[in-house]
Amino acid sequence: MKLKLDKNELKPFLQSLIEDYDVYAPVELKEGVSIYKKIDQPEEINLNLLNPQKPVKEVFFPQSEVMLRYERAGKRSQVALMEEVVRERVIFGARPCDIQAISVIDEVFLGKDYTDVYFLHKRKASTIIGIACNHPLSTCFCSSTGGDPFSRKGSDLFFIDLGEAYIAELLTEKGMAFRENRFFKEASSEDLTLAQQIEEKASKKTDASLPIDGIEKRLDQMMESPFWDRIHEKCIGCGICTLLCPTCHCFDIMDEDLAGKGQRVRNWDSCLSTLYSQETSGHNPRPTGRERTRQRLMHKFNYFLKNFGRIACVGCGRCILYCPVNFDIRQVIKEIQKAGDS
Amino acid sequence: MKNPYLPIPMVVKKACIETTDRMLRTVELAFLSEEDGQSFRFIPGQFCELSIFGKGEAPFGIASSPTEKGSLKFTINKAGVVTTALHHIEEGAEIGIRGPLGNGYPIDLFEGKNVLVIGGGFAFTTLRSLIVYLSHPKNRSKVGDITVIYGARLPGLLLYKEELLEWEKRNDLKLILTVDQGDEVWKGKVGLVPNVLEEAAPSSENTYAVICGPPIMVKFTFPKLMALRFPNERIFTSLERRMKCGIGKCGRCNVGHLYVCKDGPVFSYAQLEKLPKDY
Amino acid sequence: MEAHWEPKILAFLCNWCSYAGADLAGTSRIQYPPNIRVIRVPCSGRINPLFILKALQSGIDGVLVSGCHPGDCHYLSGNYIGRRKSATLKRFLEFLGIEEGRVQFSWVSAAEGGKFSQVVQEVTEDIKRLGPIKRFVKNRVQGV
Amino acid sequence: MIQQKIREKAKELLSKKEVDLIIGFGEGTLPLRATPIFIRTPEEADRLIWNSFCESNLAIYLHKFSQFKVGLIVKGCDARSVIALSLEKRFRTNPVFRIGVPCQRMVDRRKVKKAVRGEILEAYEEGDQIIVKGDGFQISLNRDDFLYHSCQVCTHRNPTHADLLVGDPFEESPLLEIPPEVREFEEMSSEERWRFFEKETSRCIRCYACREACPMCYCRECFVDSSRPKWLEKSLSPSDLQFYHIVRAYHQTGRCSGCGACERACPMEIRLTYLTRKLNQDVKELFGFETGIDPDAPPPLSTYETEDRQEFIK
For residue D240, the model assigns a pLDDT of 95
* CA of C59 vs chain A CAs: smallest distance (Å): 13
Residue C39 has pLDDT above 80, yes or no: yes
How many Cβ atoms from other residues are within 10 Å of residue B185's Cβ?
A: 6
Q: Is A120 in Cβ contact with B92 (below 8 Å)?
A: no
Q: Where are the alpha helices (DSSP H) in chain A?
A: 10-20, 57-60, 96-109, 117-124, 173-176, 189-203, 215-220, 227-231, 240-243, 289-298, 304-308, 318-322, 329-341
Q: Whole-angstrom Cα distance, residue A67 to residue A79?
A: 10
Per residue in A290-333, pLDDT tens?
A: 999 999 999 999 999 999 999 999 999 999 999 999 999 999 99
Q: Whole-angstrom Cα distance, residue B71 to residue B61?
A: 14
What is the arithmetic mean of pLDDT over A237-248? 95
Confidence of residue A338 (pLDDT cuts 50, 70, 90): confident
Q: Which residues contact D241 (CB under 8 A, 6 or more apart)?
A: D201, D202, D204, D206
Residue ending a domain, among B165, B194, B212, is B212
Residue C3 has pLDDT above 80, yes or no: no
Q: Whole-angstrom Cα distance, residue D160 to residue D292?
A: 8
| Residue to test with chain A: of B23, B29, B53, most A Cβ within 10 A | B53
* CA of D212 vs chain A CAs: smallest distance (Å): 5
Question: What is residue A154's DSSP assignment?
Answer: T
Question: What is the dihedral sign for C-alpha D126, D129, D132, D138?
Answer: negative
Query: How far is the CA of D6 from the CAs of C109, D18, D41, D72, D95, in angstroms?
Result: 60, 15, 14, 11, 20
Per residue in D96-144, pLDDT tens?
A: 999 999 999 999 999 999 999 899 999 999 999 999 999 999 999 999 9
Do residues B61 and B80 both lie within one domain?
yes
Q: Is D243 in Cβ contact with C53 (below 8 Å)?
A: yes
Residue ending a domain, among B84, B101, B118, is B101
Q: Is B79 in Cβ contact with A283 (below 8 Å)?
A: no
Residue B84: give its domain's CATH number: 2.40.30.10
Per residue in C98-123, pLDDT tens?
A: 999 999 999 999 999 999 999 999 99
- Parent domain of B32: 8-101
Confidence of residue D309 (pLDDT cuts 50, 70, 90): very high
- Residue B120's Cβ-count burial label (10 Å; 0-12, 13-18, 19+) is buried
For residue A342, the model assigns a pLDDT of 62
Q: Which residue of C has its CA nearest to A69?
A: C143
Confidence of residue A281 (pLDDT cuts 50, 70, 90): confident
Question: What is residue B225's DSSP assignment?
Answer: H
Walk along chain B (279 residues) and give the pLDDT tens digit of each residue: 789 999 999 999 999 999 999 999 999 999 999 999 999 999 999 999 999 999 999 999 999 999 998 899 999 999 999 999 999 999 999 999 998 999 999 999 999 999 999 999 999 999 999 999 999 999 999 999 999 999 999 999 999 999 999 999 999 999 999 999 989 989 889 999 999 999 988 889 999 999 999 988 999 999 999 999 999 999 999 998 899 999 999 999 999 999 999 998 999 999 999 888 766
Residue B209 near residue B149 (C-beta atoms within 8 A): no
Give B-chain residues touching A245 at CB under 8 angstroms: none
Q: Whole-angstrom Cα distance, residue A87 to residue A70?
A: 24
Give D-chain residues touching C71 at CB under 8 angstroms: 306
| Residue to test with chain B: of D225, D227, D231, most B Cβ within 10 A | D227
Please state the domain extents for chain C.
Answer: 9-130
Per residue in A144-200, pLDDT tens?
A: 999 999 999 999 999 999 999 999 999 999 999 999 999 999 999 999 999 999 999
Residue D106 near residue D54 (C-beta atoms within 8 A): yes
Do residues B206 and B111 both lie within one domain?
yes
Give D-chain residues touching C107 at CB under 8 angstroms: 313-314
End-to-end CA distance of chain C, in Å? 22
Q: Is D250 in Cβ contact with C49 (below 8 Å)?
A: yes
Per residue in D157-197, pLDDT tens?
A: 999 999 999 999 999 888 888 777 777 888 899 999 999 99
Give B-chain residues touching D234 at CB under 8 angstroms: none
- List the Cα angle D110/D114/D115 in 5-degree steps: 120
Question: What is residue D107's DSSP assignment?
Answer: B
For residue D174, the model assigns a pLDDT of 86
For residue A107, the model assigns a pLDDT of 95
For residue C141, the model assigns a pLDDT of 45
Q: Is C105 in Cβ contact with D250 (below 8 Å)?
A: no
Residue ending a domain, among B192, B212, B232, is B212
For residue C2, the model assigns a pLDDT of 56
Strand, helix or coil at C14? strand
- Which residue type, as a one-letter code, is found at position C33? P
Query: How far is the CA of C43 from the CAs of B145, C72, C110, in angstroms?
Result: 66, 11, 13
Give B-chain residues touching D228 at CB under 8 angstroms: 80-81
For chain C, the residues whose C-beta falls within 8 A of a C-beta of chain D are 49-50, 53-54, 57, 70-71, 77, 80-81, 83-100, 104-107, 119, 122-123, 135-139, 141
Q: Is A238 in Cβ contact with D211 (below 8 Å)?
A: yes
Do residues B130 and B40 both lie within one domain?
no
Nearest to A241 by CA among A134, A340, A330, A155: A330
Give A-chain residues touching B102 at CB under 8 angstroms: none
> Is domain C9-130 in CATH 3.10.20, yes or no?
no
Q: Whole-angstrom Cα distance, residue A125 to residue A120?
A: 9
Q: Whole-angstrom Cα distance, residue C142 to residue C122?
A: 35
| Residue to test with chain A: of B36, B83, B239, B242, most A Cβ within 10 A | B242
Q: What are phi and psi of A314, to 5 degrees?
A: -115, 5
How many Cβ atoms from other residues are within 10 Å of residue C63's Cβ?
A: 24
Residue C142 has pLDDT above 60, yes or no: no
Question: What is residue B136's DSSP assignment?
Answer: S
Q: Which chains touch B (3 or more CB pairs under 8 A)?
A: A, D
Give C-chain residues touching A261 at CB under 8 angstroms: 143-144
Mean model confidence pLDDT for chain C: 93
How many Cβ atoms from other residues are within 10 Å of residue D187's Cβ?
A: 9
Strand, helix or coil at B269? helix
Q: Which residue of B has its CA nearest to A66?
A: B5
- Which residue type, as a one-letter code, is found at position D184? E
Q: Which residue of A has its CA nearest to D267?
A: A322
Give D-chain residues touching C106 at CB under 8 angstroms: 313-314
Decide if D301 touches C, using CB distance below 8 A.
yes
* CA of A258 vs chain C CAs: smallest distance (Å): 6
Q: Is D60 in Cβ contact with A236 (below 8 Å)?
A: yes
Chains C and D touch (3+ CB pairs under 8 A): yes
Chains B and A touch (3+ CB pairs under 8 A): yes
Per residue in A64-122, pLDDT tens?
A: 999 999 998 887 889 999 989 999 999 999 999 999 999 999 999 998 889 999 999 99
Give D-chain residues touching B81 at CB under 8 angstroms: 227-228, 230
In this complex, the residue of D121, D212, D235 whose CB is nearest that of residue A236 is: D212
What is the arithmetic mean of pLDDT over A36-63? 94
Mean model confidence pLDDT for chain D: 93
Give D-chain residues touching B87 at CB under 8 angstroms: none
- Residue D310's Cβ-count burial label (10 Å; 0-12, 13-18, 19+) is middle
Nearest to C5 by CA among C98, C135, C127, C138: C127
Give A-chain residues touching B101 at CB under 8 angstroms: none
Q: Is B104 left (phi over 0), alpha (psi -120 to 50) or beta?
A: left
Residue B154: give its domain's CATH number: 3.40.50.80
Chains C and B touch (3+ CB pairs under 8 A): no
